[in-house]
Structure 1
Amino acid sequence: MAPSTQFEVAQPPNDAISALVFSPDSPSRLLVSSWDKNVYLYEVVEGADEANLVNSYEHRAPVLDVCFGANRDEAFTAGLDQQVKRIDLATGEQTVLSKHTEAVRCVVFSPEHSILISASWDNTLHIHNTTSPSQPHLTIQLPGKPHAMAASPSKVVVAMTARLVHIYDLPTIASALASGPDSASSIQPWQQRESSLKFLTRAVACMPNDAGYATSSIEGRVAVEWFEDTAESQARKYAFKCHRQAAPEEEGGGDIVYPVNALTFHPVYGTFASGGGDGTVALWDAEAKRRMRQYQKFLDSVAAVAFSQDGKYLAIGVCPGFETGMENYSGEGKTKVFLRELGETEAKGKGAK
């Protein structure tokens, strides 16, 4: 079995990292979005412990999220310029798909339904049919400001302020899109839930087997829940503390609590990784309810994590966090992207075959 290795990506962003994502059909292709107003495309060199910068794509304002589209050459971005954009990664051409009235916080793409969903701080979702870009998008009103969003093969989970969580059914959304621009009102949440976490949701990730999702909060906790709305299924949900450090005795002891900034599920084994403001990344077995391992501490906060589609790589975005309330923030020179090539069973859970 090959041992795991970890290396730093050359030419990282110049400011805080907002998102990392691997291509669904090219496990060596990585996109990174940043507050420096750029999206970066890297190619991992197999067996060489390095990743090369292929290109960067400049935006008018900080980019808050990025995702791949239908193939390795299509990407979508969300940003502080209030725009949802499509990028042709081969040519660099950028196309505005829609414009919100406030910053766009998240974008997710459903390859199963060719749907792009953007979530904005104007309390709306925009639903785009990516196979017909000229078709008008649908707008869904939200009861709160969205802070995190993730898609499974059949569901979209939107976490908002006031502990609100809405789960939408993707086949229902696809049907509404096909019915035309007047069908937005037919899109209602499949489920409405109250978050199991008492504080603001920082990240959401969906299980690859379409069974449920995990959320994390600014207060060092992660919750794991299942979609199925039965008493038995709901009884399985749980939450736990993580990304905390013991405070020195001279400071009164207790725990120093850090935000859990990022979550990502392993596409093969269904285990998941969390990244926190304490500068650590941990691997968790959702079924066995246990921490499998915690990696060495990074010098700064872990802002984003992502597994490659084949489960071979774990990308980790590191940059100074906002935990100390610093006024003159600068991620320049401190922003780093690490790639960990996992050992064969490194992310394998207790019950995995």
Structure 2
Amino acid sequence: MSAFGVASASNSNPNKSTEVVSPPSDGVSSLCFSPKANYLVATSWDSQVRCWEVTKNGTSLNTVAKTSMAHDNPVLCSAWKDDGTTVFSGGCDKQVKMWPLLSGSQPTTVAMHDAPVTQVAWISEMNLLVSGSWDKTLRYWDLRQPNPVHTQQLPDRCYSLTVKHPLMVVATADRNIIAFNLQNPQAEFKRIMSPLKYQTRCVAAFPDQTGFLVGSIEGRVGVHHLDEQQQSKNFTFKCHRDGNDIYAVNSLNFHPVHHTFATAGSDGAFNFWDKDSKSRLKAMPRCNQAIPCSSFNNDGSIYAYAVCYDWSKGAENHNPSSAKTSIYLHLPLDTEVKPKPRTGAVGKK
């Protein structure tokens, strides 16, 4: 019995997911799939940006390491251009690099900040790159110009950013959440205090742009609508908890087709949820280390997640012999990500 317990406790892949070949040598800070094809990019604390090609044949997945690029310091964030040929990455060297992935050209620096760059997003509708930093600014970049076209002061360091044009939501330190209408990007649309009591880890804009999800270090998610008339629909819920143990919610991803969403946490679990019916669709078995980041591919048929030590328990609890970094690919079943059919006359008052 004890041997079984030890085996299960050390299992980094209890979901029998496909493991990505040639993973990073240190923790993964971001994952993002190309909007056009099954190319997956990961940024890491080992100062590398890596790309894999994922091929899918029925229920079997195969990965091939394609190429990689180096920053001078740990890399914290990544985003694809909408054409699927170019990747942006930012990090502790205070710059954003543009990487023409498929052409073989060298990366170039396209954005600079005064402190580490924590968030980056490509806004295709505006043909602009936006970057957020611990220097308490957002900067918008036209790639043909060396200087930002606009610098937006933030109330504090940028922790998370999500864009679903025309909505952009930025979460900063001190629990500030700022919504922008990108049709007027130089003015804050709305600033609120997070509905959660503790530090924000992640935000995700609703696919219909009416609001956002926010996740925090306290194992809780807030569902927030921007319209004053919709405030009665706001709620928070607990997740990524185990008895008295509370774990950070590190990642929030909406399914691109069904508009349900996934949470991933420092407890090593990922779960699928339907906010409209306020229900959990599926709880997955826990991995033996934290999940710091995750991403759906463009059609929602693949969910990528990283499993590694997240340093939340400090250097003294880091065990290099057991702290392997892995990236896994899960094929979501319909029952995991499709909303449950509504019963009765829901929505009619």
Instruction: Count how many residue pairs are aligned between Structure 1 and Structure 2.
Output: 324
Residue of structure 2 equivalent to 1:210: 209
**Is this contact kept in 1: 2:139–2:148, CA < 8 A?**
no
Aligned pairs (5 A) from 1:64-213:
64-90=76-102, 91-130=104-143, 132-134=144-146, 136-173=148-185, 187-213=186-212
For the residues of structure 2 that align with 1:77 and 1:151, how far apart are their CA atoms?
A: 16
Which moved further from structure 2: 282-291 or 107-116?
A: 107-116
Q: Bigger relative contact order, structure 1 or 2, given CA contacts below 8 A and separation 6+?
A: 1
For the residues of structure 1 that align with 2:304 and 2:214, how far apart are their CA atoms?
A: 19
Residue of structure 2 equivalent to 1:33: 43
Return the offset for 1:56: 0.8
Distance verdict in 2 for CA 1:22–1:331, change over 3 Å: farther
1:166-206 residue CA offsets vs partner (Å, 9 max, x unmatched): 11111223xxxxxxxxxxxxx11111111101111001111
1:245-285 residue CA offsets vs partner (Å, 9 max, x unmatched): 12xxxxxxxx1101111111001111110111111001111
Alignment-mate amino acid for residue 237 of structure 2: F
**Is this contact kept in 2: 1:18–1:65, CA < 8 A?**
yes
1:33-62 residue CA offsets vs partner (Å, 9 max, x unmatched): 111101111111121422111111111110
Residue of structure 1 equivalent to 2:338: 348
Distance verdict in 2 for CA 1:189–1:239, change over 3 Å: same
Residue of structure 1 equivalent to 2:266: 277
Return the offset for 1:341: 1.5
**Is this contact kept in 1: 2:219–2:247, CA < 8 A?**
yes
User: Helix, strand or coil for the counterpart of 1:223?
Assistant: strand
Residue of structure 1 equivalent to 2:8: none
Does 1:240 pair with 2:237?
Answer: yes
User: Helix, strand or coil for the counterpart of 2:87?
Assistant: strand
1:221-249 residue CA offsets vs partner (Å, 9 max, x unmatched): 1001123x22x311211111110112xxx
Distance verdict in 2 for CA 1:286–1:14, change over 3 Å: same
TM-score (norm. length: structure 1):
0.87
For the residues of structure 2 that align with 1:283 and 1:205, how far apart are their CA atoms?
A: 14
For the residues of structure 1 that align with 2:220 and 2:161, how far apart are their CA atoms?
A: 17
User: Helix, strand or coil for the counterpart of 2:183?
Assistant: helix
For the residues of structure 2 that align with 1:107 and 1:329, how far apart are their CA atoms?
A: 29
Return the offset for 1:133: 4.0
1:265 to 239, 254, 259: 254
Residue of structure 2 equivalent to 1:6: 17
Does 1:49 pair with 2:61?
Answer: yes
Alignment-mate amino acid for residue 330 of structure 2: R
Distance verdict in 2 for CA 1:342–1:14, change over 3 Å: same
1:116-161 residue CA offsets vs partner (Å, 9 max, x unmatched): 111110101111124x345643211111111111111211111111
**Is this contact kept in 1: 2:255–2:261, CA < 8 A?**
yes
User: Helix, strand or coil for the counterpart of 1:235?
Assistant: helix
Distance verdict in 2 for CA 1:56–1:192, change over 3 Å: same
For the residues of structure 1 that align with 2:105 and 2:95, how far apart are their CA atoms?
A: 17
For the residues of structure 1 that align with 2:188 and 2:267, how far apart are their CA atoms?
A: 35
For the residues of structure 1 that align with 2:149 and 2:119, how far apart are their CA atoms?
A: 16
Aligned pairs (5 A) from 1:270-349:
270-327=259-316, 329=318, 334-349=324-339
Return the offset for 1:63: 0.4
User: Helix, strand or coil for the counterpart of 2:126?
Assistant: coil
User: Helix, strand or coil for the counterpart of 1:78?
Assistant: strand
For the residues of structure 1 that align with 2:325 and 2:299, how far apart are their CA atoms?
A: 26
For the residues of structure 1 that align with 2:209 and 2:341, how far apart are their CA atoms?
A: 18
For the residues of structure 1 that align with 2:173 and 2:199, how far apart are their CA atoms?
A: 7
For the residues of structure 2 that align with 1:117 and 1:330, how far apart are their CA atoms?
A: 37
1:322-349 residue CA offsets vs partner (Å, 9 max, x unmatched): 2322347477861100001122443001
Return the offset for 1:70: 2.8
Aligned pairs (5 A) from 1:211-226:
211-226=210-225
For the residues of structure 2 that align with 1:278 and 1:344, how far apart are their CA atoms?
A: 24
1:60-106 residue CA offsets vs partner (Å, 9 max, x unmatched): 11000000013221111110000022111121421111211111111
**Is this contact kept in 1: 2:162–2:205, CA < 8 A?**
yes
**Is this contact kept in 2: 1:15–1:331, CA < 8 A?**
no
TM-score (norm. length: structure 2):
0.88
For the residues of structure 2 that align with 1:267 and 1:5, how far apart are their CA atoms?
A: 23
Return the offset for 1:207: 1.8
User: Helix, strand or coil for the counterpart of 1:346?
Assistant: helix
